[in-house]
């Protein structure tokens, strides 16, 4: 466990201080809650559930209250980076502890081999490593999935599956998963399906009671949470789901799960399936263990398949799938290896060679995507804080804009550093904008931004220019002048908000060299000791 935790952490170190900007949105909410402003993106804003990870948010609020998060730096590294990565490290150790607990239920003395193999597979998988250490809730979700698998396996192998403690534990883990990510609610079905899988005629009543207890442990607190959400925000789902236009699941979407097999490696998947098939064909504890473990694996794979397509690279929603798949692969392979110990020694050699070859093919197959991600990971919190938060603070200062509003789509680092009122053009923290995306009504979006909000400062770029229709000609017609041009978008100021038009020209000439260099790099070395309004890296 210690070795594989270090392996995962060492792999994560290749990403340096990178924290994805979406994580910083939750950081901003943690700051607002801890400072007594409630669940708002910044003081004075309306309550909007612009996050979808309340359990992870709670850990951040606790860390901030204890002085471990959003207070400064340790050895020159911001605790906005250190604290979530420390949580990821603890969750990774917890995941591997669950893998060990799963293996000990079946193999006892060889549990270390399963843990080492599963941990090695996870360390080799940059998708798992990167998103676990991204600042998002992925490591906590992975831990709940691994703990669910371990609980079900131990209950199935030891014959304790129907005990009240196991049933209630499964429901509690499903509740934690659902509060970590909305799709985590799928794990509420893991216990009932597993009980059905091992159902015996004489245990019908006892099984029904256990399933009712598990479902009640999950459903009652979750129903209270949903009622609170609706009373607070007026929605039954997070505002993020509205903004992303998440539709009802379609069976055709399940085909996207095939992308995970391509990334993970078809050879490794086939070897894992073959080993699982051989283990399931033999009677014994390994058969029951794998059958129980495959239930949450299938559920998380289904949840991944029905989610809307994600623009971020390396399959960030697949983290629990990687954990459960690696555990199943390791458990099946070691079970088959052990079974062939006395019967066919040559088969063990063949299995070892084939497994090593499949792992090598998997790593080399991922190498190109991994290298690109390490060189330029998904949008960094530090970059957004510098590019949008500090830059637009500087615009407002140089243009003489007081109590100004800025509208833009990249939010996390902006919220942590901006002195301006921020309007989220992506809609994650803005109910009106989210509703326009849900209705596919971009005309209403443009009317809201340009006629109702009328921000003094505005930014769009790339896909957001096309998605919103806030093109440079339309902005010019609405009275906006460009301060900096970036592709088919850029930074704009509403001309009538600036008392001295000469300032616009002066600012344009002043910012271009610095912004050209910043946009080309897109990866600052770090965030400085803290991210506050008017603090952090200079614009």
Tens digits of residue pLDDT in 392-405: 999 999 999 989 99
294 assigned to some structural domain: yes
Q: Give the per-residue pLDDT at 344.
A: 65
Measured distance CA(324)–CA(144) in Å, rounded: 11
Measured distance CA(127)–CA(12) in Å, rounded: 10
Average pLDDT over residues 422-448: 95
Least trusted range by pLDDT, from 6-15, 111-120, 180-189, 350-359: 350-359
For residue 454, which phi and psi values (nearest 5 degrees)?
A: 50, 60
Residues 333, 436: one domain? no
87 assigned to some structural domain: no
Residues 301, 393: one domain? no
Q: Where are the alpha helices (DSSP H) in 282-376?
A: 285-306, 319-343, 345-375
8 assigned to some structural domain: no
Q: Give the per-residue pLDDT at 84.
A: 97
**Cα–Cα–Cα angle for 183, 188, 192, nearest 5°?**
145
Residue whose C-alpha is closest to residue 433's, from 402, 411, 417 = 411
Residues 234, 267: one domain? yes
Q: Could you give the 3-state DSSP secondary structure of residue 43?
A: coil
Residues 345, 225: one domain? yes
Residues 403, 429: one domain? yes
Measured distance CA(55)–CA(78) in Å, rounded: 22
Quote the percentage of the chain above a pLDDT of 90.
70
Measured distance CA(44)–CA(37) in Å, rounded: 8
Residues 302, 398: one domain? no
Q: What is the DSSP string of 465-478?
A: HHHH---HHHHHHT
Q: Compute how many other C-beta atoms are within 10 angstroms of the C-beta atom of residue 20.
A: 23
Residue whose C-alpha is closest to residue 87's, from 182, 37, 35, 12 = 12
Residue whose C-alpha is closest to residue 88's, from 141, 27, 25 = 141
Top mean-pLDDT range of 22-31, 71-80, 271-280, 300-309: 22-31
448 assigned to some structural domain: yes
455 assigned to some structural domain: yes
Single out the residue in 324, 344, 375 at which a domain terminates.
Answer: 375
For residue 53, which phi and psi values (nearest 5 degrees)?
A: -140, 60
Average pLDDT over residues 22-26: 96
Q: Give the per-residue pLDDT at 247.
A: 62
Measured distance CA(178)–CA(181) in Å, rounded: 5
Residues 152, 180: one domain? yes
Single out the residue in 356, 375, 394 at which a domain terminates.
Answer: 375
322 assigned to some structural domain: yes
Single out the residue in 325, 354, 375 at which a domain terminates.
Answer: 375
Strand partners, 77: 74
Residues 402, 517: one domain? yes
Convert the pLDDT of each residue in 481-536 to its tens digit: 999 998 889 999 999 999 998 999 999 988 888 888 888 776 655 566 667 765 33
Measured distance CA(322)–CA(329) in Å, rounded: 10
Residues 396, 360: one domain? no
Q: Using alpha carbons, list the distances in angstroms from residue 240 to 48, 236, 274.
A: 9, 12, 40
On the question of pLDDT at 250 being above 70, the answer is no
Q: Considering its fold, how many domains does the chain have in total?
A: 2
Measured distance CA(170)–CA(328) in Å, rounded: 19
Least trusted range by pLDDT, from 306-315, 317-326, 452-461: 306-315
More confident residue, 74 or 323: 323
Residues 108, 221: one domain? yes
What's 497's DSSP letter? G
368 assigned to some structural domain: yes
Average pLDDT over residues 76-88: 93
Quote the percentage of the chain above a pLDDT of 70.
94
Residues 96 and 119: beta-carbon distance below 8 Å? yes
Cβ within 8 Å of residue 158, ≥6 positions away: 105
Residues 493, 409: one domain? yes
Cβ within 8 Å of residue 296, ≥6 positions away: 145, 148, 149, 152, 187, 190, 320, 324
Residue whose C-alpha is closest to residue 419's, from 535, 338, 520 = 535
Cβ within 8 Å of residue 213, ≥6 positions away: 164, 167, 168, 171
Please state whether beta strands 489-494 and 457-460 pair in parallel, antiparallel, or not at all (unpaired).
antiparallel
Q: Give the per-residue pLDDT at 236.
A: 93
Q: Structure pTM? A: 0.93
Residues 179, 319: one domain? yes
Structural domain range at position 306: 104-375
Q: Give the per-residue pLDDT at 537.
A: 39
* Mean pLDDT for the chain overall: 90
Q: Give the per-residue pLDDT at 114.
A: 94
Convert the pLDDT of each residue in 128-175 to its tens digit: 999 999 999 999 999 999 999 999 999 999 999 999 999 999 999 999
Residues 425 and 36: beta-carbon distance below 8 Å? no
Tell me the CA end-to-end span of the chain in Å, nearest whole number.
43
Q: Using alpha carbons, list the distances in angstroms from residue 136 to 20, 41, 85, 177.
A: 8, 17, 10, 14
On the question of pLDDT at 365 being above 60, the answer is yes
301 assigned to some structural domain: yes
Q: What is the DSSP string of 306-325?
A: HSPPPSSSS-GGGHHHHHHH
Q: Give the per-residue pLDDT at 489.
A: 92
């Amino acid at each position: 466990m210690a070795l594989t935790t270090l392996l995962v952490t060492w792999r994560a170190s290749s990403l340096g201080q990178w924290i994805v900007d979406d994580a910083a949105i939750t950081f901003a909410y943690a700051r607002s809650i801890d400072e007594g402003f409630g669940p708002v993106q910044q003081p004075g804003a309306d309550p909007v559930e612009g996050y979808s990870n309340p359990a992870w948010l709670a850990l951040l609020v606790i860390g901030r209250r204890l002085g471990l998060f959003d207070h400064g730096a340790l050895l020159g590294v911001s605790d906005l980076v250190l604290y979530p990565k420390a949580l990821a490290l603890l969750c990774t150790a917890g995941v591997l502890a669950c893998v060990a607990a799963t293996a000990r239920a079946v193999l006892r003395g060889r549990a270390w081999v399963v843990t080492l193999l599963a941990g090695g597979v996870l360390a080799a998988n940059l998708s798992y490593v990167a998103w676990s250490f991204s600042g998002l809730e992925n490591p906590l979700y992975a831990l709940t999935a691994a703990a669910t698998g371990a609980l079900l396996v131990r209950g199935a192998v030891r014959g304790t599956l129907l005990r009240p403690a196991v049933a209630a534990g499964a429901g509690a883990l499903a509740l934690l998963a659902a509060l970590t990510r909305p799709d985590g609610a799928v794990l509420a079905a893991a216990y009932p399906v597993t009980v059905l899988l091992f159902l015996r005629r004489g245990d019908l009543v006892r099984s029904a009671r256990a399933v009712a207890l598990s479902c009640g442990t999950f459903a009652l607190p979750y129903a209270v949470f949903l009622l609170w959400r609706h009373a607070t925000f007026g929605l039954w789902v997070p505002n993020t789901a509205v903004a992303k236009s998440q539709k009802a699941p379609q069976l055709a979407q399940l085909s996207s799960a095939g992308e995970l097999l391509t990334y993970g490696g078809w050879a490794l998947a086939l070897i894992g399936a073959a080993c699982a098939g051989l283990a399931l064909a033999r009677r014994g504890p390994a058969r029951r263990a794998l059958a129980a473990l495959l239930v949450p694996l299938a559920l998380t794979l289904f949840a991944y398949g029905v989610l809307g397509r994600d623009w971020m690279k390396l399959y960030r929603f697949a983290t629990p799938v990687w954990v459960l798949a690696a555990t199943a692969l390791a458990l099946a392979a070691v079970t088959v290896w052990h079974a062939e110990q006395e019967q066919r020694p040559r088969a063990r050699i063949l299995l070892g060679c084939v497994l090593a070859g499949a792992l090598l093919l998997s790593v080399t197959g991922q190498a190109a995507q991994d290298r690109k991600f390490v060189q330029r990971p998904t949008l960094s919190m530090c970059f957004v804080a510098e590019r949008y938060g500090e830059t637009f603070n500087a615009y407002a200062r140089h243009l003489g804009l007081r109590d100004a509003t800025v509208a833009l789509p990249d939010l996390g680092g902006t919220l942590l550093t901006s002195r301006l009122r921020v309007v989220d053009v992506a809609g994650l923290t803005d109910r009106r904008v989210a509703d326009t995306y849900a209705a596919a009504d971009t005309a209403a979006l443009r009317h809201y931004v340009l006629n109702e909000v009328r921000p003094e400062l505005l930014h769009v770029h790339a896909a957001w220019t096309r998605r919103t229709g806030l093109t440079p000609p339309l902005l010019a017609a609405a009275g906006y002048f460009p301060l900096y041009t970036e592709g088919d978008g850029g930074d704009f100021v509403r001309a009538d908000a600036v008392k001295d038009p000469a300032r616009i020209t002066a600012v344009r000439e002043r910012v271009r060299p610095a912004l050209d260099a910043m946009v080309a790099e897109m990866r600052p070395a770090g965030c400085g000791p803290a991210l506050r309004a008017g603090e952090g890296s200079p614009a």
